[in-house]
Amino acid sequence: MPDDRSADRPAQRRSRVRGIAGRVAGAVWLAVVWVLLCGQVSPGTVAGGLVVGAALAAIPAPVAGLRLRPRPVLLLVELGRLVLDVSRSTATLAWAVLRTGSTTRSAIVTVPLQTERDDRAVLAASWLTLTPGTLVVDIDLEQRQLSVHILPVPDGGVEQARRSAARVEQRLTAALGEGSST
């Protein structure tokens, strides 16, 4: 009777080889980024980048467990909205600073999170931070809320900013689907 473990060995070997190949590719990529950040290509820079890349690639990474069921059309709509939001926010921020200078009103707004999933909360926070004039300064996963710095405070006040941030989370959740919880 054949040993069941012997049938798993090739699969385990392939998995291990893929893992090593991924780490090597990651180390090379980090070395390339290192050289680009240094701004010059020299043997020392490349060697330093490879050492840093290898050291960082050797650190075991936690498994994120980000499982999504994206809805491509809604995701494209959200990307389009992000481009519009960035454009609109840039113009609004520039106009407010030109008009009022250092007296431009800002606020820190607490936004309750609707999702129970940590990955969605972090994604919503990152998405909000991409928009000029908004910066997520705290993600409180225990209290399920974000603290968002806004500049300038919109004409509708803090409540309008809170609703706007909450809509971003709702739209992203719709675009990414429910997926499975982790």
Q: Which domain holds residue 8?
A: 4-58
Please state the pTM of the whole predicted model.
0.55
The verdict on 36 and 120 lying in the same domain is no
> Would you give the distance in Å from CA 101 to the centre of its chain?
31
80 and 170 share one domain:
yes
Quick: pLDDT tens for 61-116. 666 555 667 778 888 888 888 888 888 888 888 888 888 877 888 889 898 988 88
Residues 161, 93 share a domain: yes
| 24: phi then psi, degrees, rounded to nearest 5 | -65, -45
**Would residue 63 count as lying in a domain?**
no
Residues 83 and 41 grouped into a single domain: no
Query: Which residue shows structure tokens 């931070």?
Result: 129
Please indicate, yes or no, whether residues 123 and 85 belong to a single structural domain of this protein: yes
Note whether residue 94 is domain-resident: yes
Residues 17 and 93 both lie in one domain: no
Q: How many Å apart are CA 73 and CA 76, to the nearest integer?
A: 5
Same domain, 88 and 18: no
User: Please, what is the average pLDDT of the chain?
Assistant: 80
Is residue 182 domain-resident? no
In sequence order, the 6+-apart residues with CB closer than 8 A to the CB of 120 are 169, 172, 173, 176
Domain count, the chain: 2
